[in-house]
Amino acid sequence: MLQMVKRLLSIAICVAAMSGCNQLDLAGLVMPTGEGVEKRFEQSQSMKADMKAGVVDVQSDYMFYVCADPHIHTTYNNLGIFNNALRNDSDAAFGVILGDCTDTRSNLQTYMGAIKYNAVQHRYNYDIFHILGNHDLFFNGWVDFKEIIGPSVYWFEVAFPEGKDLYISLDTATGTLGSKQTQWLKSFLINNRHAYRHCIVLTHTNFFYTDRTQSSSGNMPIEESIALIDFLGKQKVSLVLQGHDHYREDLTYDNVRYTVIGAISDEIEAPEYLKVYVSSDKVDLDWQLIAEDTELQ
C-alpha cells in the first residue's frame, strides 16, 4: 500500500508539472472540458445513418491488427511500425486503434500522418477504425476528433460468404457510457446480436481493476462495470478489446474474453500490438512485441 501511495504522489507531481506545459488538462479532473458523453453520443448518431461505419469483406477465417494508446506527441516510431506491418500484411483485413490516439489535442494531425496509407511504402490500403480515448478529449479535443476522424460510437460488419461478425465501438473516454449510449447498446444488441456469428466490442477504458497498474487512471464506477459485464455475458459477446491501462491483461469472465492491450507509445518500456485471428469456433490472439531498438523504416 505504501508503494501505491508513493506511486500516486509521484503521479500527482508529474501531473502538476505537465499541466503547466499544456499536456494534461487539469480542468478535466472536475468537469467535462468539452461535450460530455451524452452530447458526443448524439453527435455520433447524427454523423452516420444507423451508426453503421461500414462493411469489411473477408473470407470466413480472417485476421486484424489492433493496438492501443499510441499517445502521439511529436514522434510516432512505434505506431509507424504498426502501420507498416498492417499495410504490408496480405492476411490482414483491417486495423483498430483503441484510443488515446494523441497525448493531447494539438497532435491529431501528427497521428493522422503516422497511420496514413502511402502507395510507395504500402501494399494494402486497409481501413483503420479509431476509438476515442480520454487523452483525445483534453482541451476539448472532441472538436478535432469528430471533424477529422468521425464518430466515437459506431458499429461495423465483417462479412464473409457464410455470415457476418459484428464490431461495436464504445465511447468510454469519460469513464462512463452515459444514459443514451447504455440504452442504445442494450437495445441494439438485444435486437441484432442473433444475426451475427461473433460480436467484438472495442473500448478505450478497461472494465476491470485487477492489478496495481491502474493507479494512474480510472475505470468506470463499480456498479456500471458489473452491469456491463453482466449484460455482455448474456449477449454472448466473444471478445472485448480494451486499452487505457498501458499494461496487458487477458481474462475470461462469463465466457467473454476481456483483453487489455499494452500501450504502443514511443515512451513505453515494452510496446506491443496484437493480431486477432477470427474463425468459426474461436478467436485467437497473437501478441507482437516491438523490440526496444526497432526503428521505423
Partner 1 sequence: MIITLLLVFGAISSRAQENELMLGVRAGHNVAFGGFAALSLETNLTFGQCFNIRGGAQYSTIGKTTLEARPSYVYNFSRGSLSVEALINYARLSSTNNLAAGAGIAFSSKWVGGNAGYYYRVYGGAGGRVVEPFNIYYELYANLLPMIDNWDLQLVITNNDIFELERHFQPSFIAQSRYYLGEHVGLSLGVGCKPAGMFNMSADYYQSYIKLGVCYRW
Query: Would you state the cell numbers that stand for residue 11, as one nine-digit string?
Result: 503521479
Decide if residue 188 touches partner 1 (CB under 8 A): no
Decide if residue 278 touches partner 1 (CB under 8 A): no
CA gap 130, 119 in Å, rounded: 21
* Residue type for position 201: V
- Which residues have CB under 8 Å from 50's CB, separation 6+? none
Nearest distance from C-beta of residue 248 to partner 1, angstroms: 16
Candidates 27, 45, 38, 103; CA nearest to 69 is 103
Residue nearer to partner 1 on the CB measure, 28 or 54: 28
Decide if residue 222 touches partner 1 (CB under 8 A): yes
Q: Among 4, 9, 16, 270, which residue sits at the site for partner 1 (rule: CB under 8 A)? A: 4
Q: What order do you get walking across the sheet with 163-169 strand by strand?
A: 52-57, 154-160, 163-169, 199-203, 239-242, 256-260, 249-253
Residue nearer to partner 1 on the CB measure, 25 or 157: 25
Decide if residue 79 touches partner 1 (CB under 8 A): no
Decide if residue 143 touches partner 1 (CB under 8 A): no
Nearest distance from C-beta of residue 161 to partner 1, angstroms: 33
Residue nearer to partner 1 on the CB measure, 77 or 213: 213
Decide if residue 179 touches partner 1 (CB under 8 A): yes
Nearest distance from C-beta of residue 97 to partner 1, angstroms: 18
Q: Among 211, 250, 267, 284, which residue sits at the site for partner 1 (rule: CB under 8 A)? A: 211
Candidates 232, 281, 145; CA nearest to 242 is 232
Cell 491501462, residue?
245
| CB-count burial class (<10 Å; 0-12, 13-18, 19+) for 117 | middle
Decide if residue 199 touches partner 1 (CB under 8 A): no
Nearest distance from C-beta of residue 26 to partner 1, angstroms: 7
CA gap 259, 200 in Å, rounded: 11
Decide if residue 6 touches partner 1 (CB under 8 A): no
- Which residues have CB under 8 Å from 182's CB, separation 6+? none
Nearest distance from C-beta of residue 84 to partner 1, angstroms: 30
CA gap 160, 260 in Å, rounded: 27
Q: Estimate the crossing angle of helix 222-234 against helix 178-192, to 10 degrees.
A: 10
Nearest distance from C-beta of residue 49 to partner 1, angstroms: 26
Q: How many CB atoms lie within 10 A of CB 38?
A: 16
- Which residues have CB under 8 Å from 2's CB, separation 6+? none
Decide if residue 1 touches partner 1 (CB under 8 A): yes
Residue nearer to partner 1 on the CB measure, 117 or 247: 247
> Which positions from 28 through 47 interact with partner 1, judged by CB under 8 A?
28-33, 36-37
Decide if residue 21 touches partner 1 (CB under 8 A): no
Decide if residue 221 touches partner 1 (CB under 8 A): yes
> Which positions from 96 through 135 interact with partner 1, judged by CB under 8 A?
134
Binding site for partner 1 (CB under 8 A): 1, 4-5, 15, 24-26, 28-33, 36-37, 134, 137-138, 173-179, 182, 205, 208-212, 214-224, 226-230, 233, 244, 251-255
